[in-house]
Amino acid sequence: MKKLILNRRIIVIVIIVIVLIIAIYQIFIKREKSSFVLFDVVKGNVVQEVSETGQVQKGEEIGLNFKTTGRIESVAVKAGDKVVSGQELARLDARQLQIQLEQANAALNVIEAQRGDAQLSLSAARQDLADTITTNNEKVDKEYKDAIAVVDDAYLKGYNAFAFIELLKRTYFTSHPTQESGAIFDNSTEIDKALDVIKIHVDKIKANPSKENIDLALNELEGKVLTIRDQLEQARITIETSGYRDIVSTTDKNSLDTYKLNINTAYSNLLTAKADIALAKANADDAINSARSTVFNLENQLDVSQNGLYEAQVKEARAKVQLLMEQIRDVTLKSPVDGKVVRVNKKAGETAQAGSLDPVVSVLPLIPFEVDADIYEEDVVLVSVGNNVDIYLIPFPEKIFKGKVVSIDPAEKAIEGVIYYEVNIAFEEEIPESLKPGMTADVNIKTGTKQDVIIIPEDAITRHNGKSTVNVSKNGRIQEREVILGLEGTDGMVEIISGLQVGEKVVIEQ
């Protein structure tokens, strides 16, 4: 019975242990698993589409207006003329826009020239940085090389001082022990100890003349040379005591003074060597940091990925040129379809108002059908007259018909409290004879296309306070970086105008 109870207890304990292991795994280990994936920044195509369902309707005349207000320079058609898609119908006076475009192009050229000068300056600054590093490192190396000679000289002067003290000891202080002789013996011993330490550093430098060994030697020798000088001064005092003043020769006294002077010179040279090295290092740091700062500033101004100063100015100038070119293109009113002019309401010299309900020219499409689709207000701002359209007709599932946006009704339409705008789409190819008004048509309006541009998934982008940022994985670390967005594709891919380069990796949270 006891054995059965024991077995049950063991089973319970095992179950508890297993539950604890599972809990630890779920809480700690599983949480540590990667919760993100990396996406390689690549180049590709971005297509933006607005999809909606519309109805086939009997084709009606299309009223055409200019996108901008201006004086009409010419009208190229009259009522009854047959026209083809893309044919010029009328034109606004674009002379002022042309002047503005020339000015914008000139400004762009100036900014690009400035950027070119900055790029040349950057190349020069990088070369100057390399030269500055080389030159100043050579200056520092020279000071260290000179310091080796100072260390060697300090050892030589110390050795000569020790040899003289030994000679002085043997000549005057070995015949019988006195207090003075004991002092001279102590002076010799201390000098010998200091000299041993100096010799160790001299040998270390000979084996490895590194800056670290030289710095260590200069610091150590400073104290040891002072020790030798102090011992020489004490010896000079000793030989001037009453018992030895008349015994030690004047020549030996003068020699001792000379050795003491040499040691003072060695000490002064050590201090000078340390100061020269420190000054060379400080000057090198200042010069290199100044050159590096120049390079850093120019790199930031030219940095495409970080939208640097020149890059931002160039983009702004290009955008202005692009806007003016689009405005100049818009001064030409073109027929969106093959058809027939039914009305011309304006003459050359008159003023055309953008968005006017009174069309400049009205055209009746050649193909007797169109597709009318109500587009949600948030999407209609993406749609423009002239956008290409893929049309899917339910009775003809195997066929994709090509169409084009020919008009956008400026009047809103409220459907169940939601605002829509009617968009008219004309067929650009022959349609089946069996097509009937009222048939359902699914339309994909291609509102934008960009090819061979830098793209990343929408999921990698964080938007906050009007800024867009991504997390970039670089050298094992994740850094936040601001990006400028371009076209946002329907497939979840987004164009990156600046802030990223091909080959970088962005983080996508799971």
Q: Residue 231: what pLDDT?
A: 96
Which tokens hold the place of 277? 């090295």
Q: What does the block give as tokens for 57? A: 């309707």
Q: What is the dihedral of CA 353, 358, 361, 363, to 10 degrees?
A: 140
pLDDT of res. 304:
53
Query: 7 vs 4, 16, 21, 224, CA distance in Å?
Result: 5, 14, 21, 79
Give the residue ranges of DSSP H helices in 239-308. 250-302
Q: Vertex 465, ends 459 and 471: CA angle to 5°?
A: 40
Instruction: Report pLDDT for 9.
Output: 53
* pLDDT recorded at residue 11: 53
Tens place of pLDDT per residue across the chain (510 aa): 434 344 455 554 545 555 455 555 444 444 444 577 888 888 888 888 888 898 887 777 888 888 888 898 888 888 888 898 888 889 988 888 888 888 988 988 888 888 788 788 889 999 999 999 999 999 999 999 999 999 999 999 999 999 999 999 999 998 878 899 999 999 999 999 999 999 999 999 999 999 999 999 999 999 999 999 999 999 999 999 988 898 999 999 999 999 999 999 999 999 999 999 999 999 999 999 999 999 888 888 777 555 566 777 777 888 888 888 888 888 888 888 888 898 898 888 888 888 777 888 988 887 777 888 889 888 888 888 888 898 888 888 888 988 888 878 777 888 877 899 888 888 887 777 778 787 888 998 988 888 888 998 888 888 877 688 888 887 778 888 888 888 888 888 888 887 888 888 888 887
Helices (H) and strands (E) in the chain, counts: 7, 20
Please tell me the distance from the alpha carbon of residue 285 to that of residue 293, in angstroms, as a whole number.
12
Q: What is the dihedral of CA 167, 169, 172, 178, to 10 degrees?
A: 180
| Cβ(70)–Cβ(330) below 8 Å | no
Q: Please say whether the beta carbons of 369 and 57 come within 8 A.
A: yes
Pairing, β 493-498 against β 467-474: unpaired
At residue 391, the 3 state secondary structure works out as strand
pLDDT per residue over 370-382, tens digit each? 888 889 888 888 8
Tens-digit pLDDT profile for residues 82-110: 898 888 889 988 888 888 888 988 988 88
Report pLDDT for 200: 96
CB 288 within 8 A of CB 129: yes
Give the span between the Cα atoms of 330 and 353, in whole angstroms.
13
Bridge partner list, 505? 40, 473
- Per residue in 14-54, pLDDT tens? 455 554 555 554 444 444 445 778 888 888 888 888 888 98
For domain 60-92+332-366, the CATH class is mainly beta
Note every long-range contact of 390-393, with CB atoms under 8 Å and residues 24 or more positions apart, other chains counting. Answer: 390/443, 390/444, 390/446, 391/425, 391/427, 391/441, 391/442, 391/443, 392/441, 392/442, 392/443, 392/444, 393/56, 393/435, 393/439, 393/440, 393/441
Residues in the chain: 510
CATH architecture, domain 119-302: Up-down Bundle (1.20)
Q: Identity (one letter) of the amino acid at 103?
A: Q
Q: Minimal CA–CA distance to 92: which of 435, 339, 330, 287?
A: 330
The one-letter amino acid code at 259 reads: Y
Contact between residue 269 and residue 260 where contact means Cβ atoms under 8 Å apart: no
For residue 100 the two structure tokens come to 């503005």
Domain boundaries, the chain: 35-59+368-510, 60-92+332-366, 119-302
Fold of 35-59+368-510: Elongation Factor Tu (Ef-tu); domain 3 (2.40.30)
CA-to-CA dists, residue 94 to 18, 132, 448, 488, 497, angstroms: 82, 55, 26, 32, 30
Contact 509, 459 (CB under 8 A): yes
**Beta strand pairing call for 400-415 and 388-393:** antiparallel
- For residue 160, with 0-12 CB atoms within 10 Å meaning exposed, 13-18 middle and 19 or more buried, which class applies? middle
What's the rounded Cα separation, in Å, for the pair 455 and 451? 10
Q: Where are the alpha helices (DSSP H) in 303-345?
A: 309-329
Cα–Cα distance for residue pair 295/290, rounded to 1 Å: 9
Q: Which two tokens stand for residue 342?
A: 């039914």
* Distance from C-alpha of 483 to C-alpha of 498, rounded to nearest angstrom: 6
Neighbours of 9 (CB within 10 A): 10
| R_g (Cα) of the chain, nearest Å | 46
Residue 392 pairs in a beta bridge with: 400, 442
Nearest to 58 by CA among 364, 407, 400, 401: 364
